[in-house]
Structures are given as C-alpha cells and as structure tokens.
Chains A and B, each alone.
Chain A
Amino acid sequence: MSATLVCSPHGSRPNRVDRVMQEVLLALVPGVLAMIWFFGWGVLINIMLAVAVAVAAEAAVMLVRRRPIGPAIGDYSAVVTAVLFAISVPPTLPWWMTLLGMLFAIVLVKQLYGGIGYNPFNPAMAAYVFLLVSYPVAMTTWLAPDMLAEHAVSFTESLRLIFAGALPSGVEWDAISAATPLDEMRGKLDQGMSIAEIRLSPLWGDFGGRGWEWVANGFLLGGVYLLWRRIITWHIPVSMLAALAVAAGAFWLLDPTTHPVPAFHLFSGAAIVGAFFIATDPVSACTTKTGQIIFGASIGLVVFVIRTWGGYPDAVAFAVLLMNIAAPTIDHYTQPRVFGHTGNRAKP
C-alpha cells in the first residue's frame, strides 16, 4: 500500500475495539450475577478459569506467530469469548474440559483462521458444541437452581467438584443436580405427559424455568444496555427472539397441550443471552441490515425446530453456528442499494 501517510479524518475517534468489548463484559454482569446466585460458585470459577486459559492461549499463539502480544490481549476479545463459553457450560464442568474448550476456541476456531476478525464461527459456541458432542453427559449435567437443591454447594465444594471431580461428602449427584427446564420439558413430553402436568413440576417458575427466568432477565437487562450504548443494533436480537416467539406461539395456539407457551422458550434456556450476546458477535454474523434480520430470524426458527423436534434440548449454539455458515451468502444477497443507483449491485 502506497504511503500517503496522513489521511482524513483527523479528529479523535471515539470508538475502540477494547472499549466495545469492555462494554460487552459490563453488560454481562447482571446475568452472571444471577447465575452465580442461582447456580453457585462454580459459575464464577469456570469464568476465571476460562479467562485465564483463553488469555494465555491467545498470548502463546501470538508468541508463536511472532506478533505483538499486547494488542491481541488488550482488545479483550478473548475475555469475552471465555466468559460466554463459561456461562454456557454447566457450573460443575471438570476443569480440563474448560481448558480443552478454550484451547479449541482460541487456537483452532479463532487463531487458525487468522485471529480476531477472520474467524467464520463464533469461537465460544464452536467450543461448546465440540464439548457437547465429545462429552454429552458432563455437558448436560446441571446443578439445580439454589432453592430446589437439597444441598447448596459451597465455594470449596465447587472447587473440589471442578478440579477433583469429588462430590461433597455424604451427598449424591441427585441432591445437587436437576434437569434443565428445557430438558425436562422434552423428556416428559416424550413420555406423553401434557403441558399442564409438566407445569406442576417445581422447575417451572413464573414464566420460564425457575431460576433460569431470572438469569434470562439479567441478560435481557445487559442486552438493553448494549442497545442503549449502541454497541449492538436491534436487528439480530429482535428478529431472533421474535421468530422464536412467533414460531412457538403458533404451535402453542394450535396445540397448547403439547407445546409450551412462547415465554417458556424465551426464558428457560439460552435464547436471551444468545440473542443479545452470542448471535450479535459481529465477526461471525451478517453485516448488512437486511442480512442481520434474516440471520437473526433464522437462528430463532432453527432453535425452535431443534428444541421441538431435534435431538438436543437447547439449540442456540447449533443454530448460531449453522447460520454463521450462511452469513457470507446472506450478506452477498442483501447488499443495500448504493446511493444514486437504481437497483444494481455488486456482481457475484
């Protein structure tokens, strides 16, 4: 590139990648706090472990590629990936799985493609799916929300669970774990129970899974903050949640005995956090506005389809990855009409 050294604009530039990422981290706080409240210290331990591994991995790759380490770590993108991963996995996940997941996310999914900006897939979700496929049991063993557990797992017990795989003395898994609401819903529907019967389960809260609904509210708050700060735009989250709600609503209206209310879909799993924090990952999402609406809506629909007829109780990670593949194509066909042009677009 020729060296026209100085070029407009000349003023200070308000936006910076690291600030954007910091805002995202800040927005995650209420949801994470809710998670810790309902699911214990394991959440926090996972986050710290994942962040440490992700940052170390990022630094190591930079070292190997002989690139400056400072900017790569200073942009906080690895930290965001780590936190998103850590809040998606069960709070009791063995430490080495977290380590494996983060290495997979940073080294393979992110850096092998050239680092931030080049990865076609969302690293956190790719790592989640990788672990889910490899270790399905560990990845689906969730703690019961605090008020439903017979035994509240303390901080040291969490540490021992994660690092040594040791249950608290005198306590069985049953006492601390529970199916996730989505899991429960699927399982019992498969057994032929009706929604009305399932709703009697203590896992039901006011409008979603007990505990889960408040976690979702926390992330919703953070999402609204991101919208307000203009870190994200409404296109992806709104279209994703709307598509999920519309699809769920339609089936619920058709047959309320076998389909839960739309609010259950929105507030019982990863839909909210996925809509605001995961699907909106700029690197792997669509960039055109029309494209973003299609992208978000497709994720919402895929989530509903997998939850209702697929093999997994929750599907946000799968849906996001699936649409990541389609993002470049969607972008290509949704280029805006250039000012002063009448309908001509870039040629394929």
Chain B
Amino acid sequence: MASILSLLRRERLWTFHGGIHVPDEKALSNGRAVETMPLPKRLVIPLQQHIGATARPVVKVGERVLKGQLLAQAEGYVSACIHASSSGTLVAIEPRPVPHPSGLSALCAVIETDGEDTWAELPEPMTRYAQLDTSEIRERIRWAGVVGLGGASFPTSVKLNPGPDQRIRTLIINGAECEPYITCDDLLMRERAGDILAGARIMHHLLGDPRILIGIEDNKPEAFEAMRFALAETDMRGYTEIRSIPTLYPSGGEKQLIRILTGAEVPTHAIPARIGIVCQNVGSAAAVADAVLEGRPLISRIVTVTGRAIDEPRNLEVRIGTPVSDLIAHCGGYRERPRKLVCGGPMMGFEIAHPTIPVTKPANCVLALTEVEAPDPGPALACIRCGRCAEVCPAKLLPQQLYWHARAKDLDRVQDYNLFDCIECGCCAQVCPSHIPLVQYYRYAKNEVWAREEDKRKAELARMRHESKQARLERQERERKARLRQKKESLEAGPGKSQTDQDAKKAAIEAAKQRAAAKKAAAAKAEETDDA
C-alpha cells in the first residue's frame, strides 16, 4: 500500500528530444572523499572568472593581502567580486594565461603566499536572514563573488534578482552533473548536502518562496540518498522535492533539466525567469550558504582531477588561483603521457595548452585523457546525410544543415536554421560517423555572426558621429551669423545699450537651451540604436 502511494506520489518526469548515452567513467574519481589541496607558493587569480565585465582591482602591487580580502570589485551589474584565496604579498597584476577556450591571457592578481593563511576580517554571518531585507542578502552574495559553479559562471546575485514583476514559481537545484568523468558535484552532495539545502533555502527566501526541485541523475545513488537524508532533517520538506532523473547526456543543461523536471520549454533567446523558473547549480547553493551564514567569500571549489592518464584520480578542494599542474602532481602525476589535457568534461570542455594555468570558479574538472580515451578521430569524411546528428540534438536542430551553411559561410542561412539555439553540447559531433567537427563549425559561425553585428554597430556609430558633427558645425555657423546680425543691429540702433545687452543674454540662454535639447535627442537616438 505504502509503495503504491509512493508510486502515485512520484512526480512525473518529462523527456527532451535526443541526447546520448556516453560511458560515464565516474567510478574513476568518485571513490574517495574530497581532499584539501595544500597551499601553493603562488596563486594566480584571474580578475574575470564569470560572464560579464572584468572586476576592477582595489589592491596595489606590493600590498600584503589576507585570505578572503577583496581583490577586485564587481564592475557593473553583471560582474562578480574576486577575493584573495590565501594571505601573502600581491606581487603583480598583469596578463597571464587563463583557462579559456581561446587560450588567451587575461588580467590576473598574483599572490606570493606566506604560508600563514590568515583570514581577513569577514562580515557578520546573517543567520537570521529571514528577517533581513532581501536586497541586503543579495548584496552579501554579490560581495562574496558567487557565480554559477556548473560551468556557465553567471553571477548568482543577478540570477536571484528576477525583478519585481517576475514571479518565480520554481527554483531548480541542478545536481544532474551529466558530463562523463566529472564527480565534484556528486561528492559535494554526499559531503555537504546540508549546506546545499541551506543555500537553496536562502535562495527560496530571496525568490519569494517558490517550490524547490532538485534533480540528480540516477548514476549518483549515494548523492541522492545523502540529499534525501539531509532534507528529512529540515523543515523544507513541504516545498522541496528531490527527483532522480535518468542518466542521459545533456540532462544537466539548464534548459534540458527544466524540461525534464517541469515539462516546460524555455523560449528561445529567453532566460528561464521568463517562465518563472530559476536554476542554480548545487555548488552555487553551497557557496550562497557559506556567504550568508558564515560570511565567507567564494575562494575555493571542488575540482575533479581525472582521466586514465592520471595516476590517482580524485576530487580536491582547491583554492581559486592554484595552478592546474599542482593538482595533477598532487594526484600522483601522470600514469601515462596524456594525449589531451582538458578543462571541463569531455563533451563541452576545452583543451588547455599550458598546465600552469590557474583553477578558476567555473573550473569543475581537469581531465587528462590517454590515447585510448581520446584517439585522433582522423580526418573528417564527407557528410553522408545519415541524420544521426539530428536524432541526438537536444535543441532539435538540424546539425547537418547548420554544418552545410556554416561551411559555405552563409551567415543568413545558419541563422535561419537557428544556429543560436545550439548549446554546443557536442552530441551531434559525438555520433557523426564521418567525424566532422560539427561544434567547431558552429562556434566559428557564431563568431562570424557576432563579428558582423559588431561591424554593423560600429558603422552605425560612425554614421551617427558624423551626423552630429555635421549638425554641430551647422549650428555654430548659424549662431555666428546670428551674433553678427545682432552686433550689426545694435550698432545701427546706437545707444540704449542695456536693452541690447539683455537681448543678447536672452539669445545666449535660448541658444544654450537649444543645444541641450539637441544633445538629449542625440543621446536618445544613440541609446535606441544600442538597444537594437
């Protein structure tokens, strides 16, 4: 009877189109507890570890900094603060290679650590946050530099501020972790389930009491149990549900997970908040709990170091800024020369050239793949139009058509075929029997489209500048003529000077008013084109 009831109660799950089963390889690294990585001699902390503007440094080279001290202030709304992850001397703020698909360098703060690991003075814990103003809590989360830790790294405080006229009905906590190999969220759920729930509860408060859905792929039974156990201890049960979802890549994609758990489709080019849903990664939830309940900024994260080329794969609690090479050394180094070193998972991660690059907030995995795990796919063959790519595409695109048009550089057609709905999950390339690097073509096409838009915008700006210059010159000419005329008139009128003086003043005021109005109009116009 009880089981029938529980069956009835079991909430319905939806499916999304496509997706693939890939060997998950999670057993390589999920066997032992998270270990804390020792303090490195030098921390290289990038000032942009999030989507949005680079944070503005607020410390000077040569200064002694403390653990948890603010290094760089969020600059603009979509941005995140950056903190020192240990105490020491700030020896440089300069461009260094950072983990980024482009392999480019970016501004980093370099700290020579002193080994003391002294904490800075931290803000008061907000244990009674429910009585506080939500903006105060949000400000704290913003201060703590919390971003999406699942890989997208969108500033969490922004996501938790959907605006007054957007009612959020569902908060989804993403524990799906669908990429093969990666197990950091799995371990986090096993070891810190309570903190994740505490963070979820804070978010629940901030978002105006939505229901909470937690999705966990069914290849993580321990994590599922740990979370369920932790939930039973809280008073959140009334509005929180943990659901086990089938293992299928990419279930952890935001839009896919929303679909699985709620059946809703996020409209194209819209954020989930549009349909009343906010989705947060389990790591972000725990970081929110740290920030609000402990006053601790985000200065470390769990990183999975794995792949068959690593001697002892495992999960490490790593300070932001630790070089990747240290992590590998800590895991016993290489067992076999890796053919590829990847940051992130095998499906969506990017290859890293220098193992000296530092760990950043979104870096969930360091993957050293052997020749067998990542063999050279060989030269791409011609597309045989088999349609497998379309069968697996979770965005329901026609990857083959996208490929044809991207290859032909037909930027209008790729957009007609909804290129920008592609989430670059790599399913299509994974199943393509011709081994065509499809995702590469899509990224290339996206970049081309962006470049073209940028060119257009620039041209438009130049045109506007030219026009306003023209207008200014004309106006000046008009004014000059008017002054001349006035002078002439006043000369002709002879005395009665005071009268003309007043007139001239009036005229000047009038002219200034006109100028201001013209400026306003020009600004308004510029804004319009910016928005477009």
Contact = CB atoms under 8 A, between A and B. Distances in A.
Interface of A: 1-2, 4, 6-17, 19-20, 71, 75, 77, 114-118, 233, 282-285, 287-289, 292, 335-342, 346-347
Nearest to A235: B387
Given A14-B431, A116-B382, A117-B382, 19 more contacts: A2-B444, A4-B444, A6-B350, A7-B437, A7-B440, A8-B429, A10-B342, A20-B386, A117-B383, A233-B391, A289-B390, A336-B398, A337-B396, A338-B397, A339-B255, A339-B396, A340-B268, A340-B395, A346-B416
4 A-B pairs closest in CB distance? A117-B382, A9-B426, A7-B440, A282-B386
Given A8-B350, A341-B421, A13 B435 contact: yes
B384 A117 contact: yes
Interface of B: 16-17, 22, 101, 180, 255, 259, 265-268, 270, 340, 342, 346-351, 367, 369, 372-375, 377, 379, 381-388, 390-391, 394-398, 400-401, 407, 413, 416-418, 421, 424, 426, 429-435, 437, 439-441, 443-444, 447
Given A337-B396, A339-B17, A347-B416, A6 B385 contact: no
A287 B400 contact: yes
Given A7-B443, A342-B267, A17 B381 contact: yes
A340 B391 contact: no
Contacts of B418: 338, 341, 346
12 contacts: A4-B440, A7-B443, A10-B349, A11-B22, A13-B429, A19-B433, A282-B387, A287-B390, A287-B400, A339-B268, A339-B395, A342-B267
Contacts of A114: 382
Contacts of A1: 407, 440-441, 444
Nearest to A74: B381
Given A1-B441, A117-B382, A12 B372 contact: yes
Chain B interface mostly helix, strand, loop or mixed?
loop
A334 to B, nearest CB: 10
Contacts of B440: 1, 4, 7
Contacts, number: 156
Contacts of A233: 391
A8 B439 contact: yes
Nearest to B180: A11
Given A16-B433, A288-B398, A340 B267 contact: yes
B381 A338 contact: no
Contacts of B424: 8
Contacts of B384: 17, 20, 77, 116-117, 282-283
B504 to A, nearest CB: 61
Contacts of B443: 4, 7
B265 A71 contact: no
Given A4-B443, A15-B388, A116-B384, A340 B407 contact: no
A75 B386 CA distance: 14
Contact of A8 (B349, B379, B413, B431): B349
Nearest to B23: A11
A11 B427 CA distance: 11
**Which of A4, A75, A292 has the largest count of B CB atoms less than 10 A from its CB?**
A4
Contacts of A342: 267
Contacts of A75: 381
A158 B268 CA distance: 64
Nearest to A118: B382
Contact of B398 (A17, A335, A339): A335
Given A13-B435, A339-B17, A341-B421, A8 B426 contact: yes
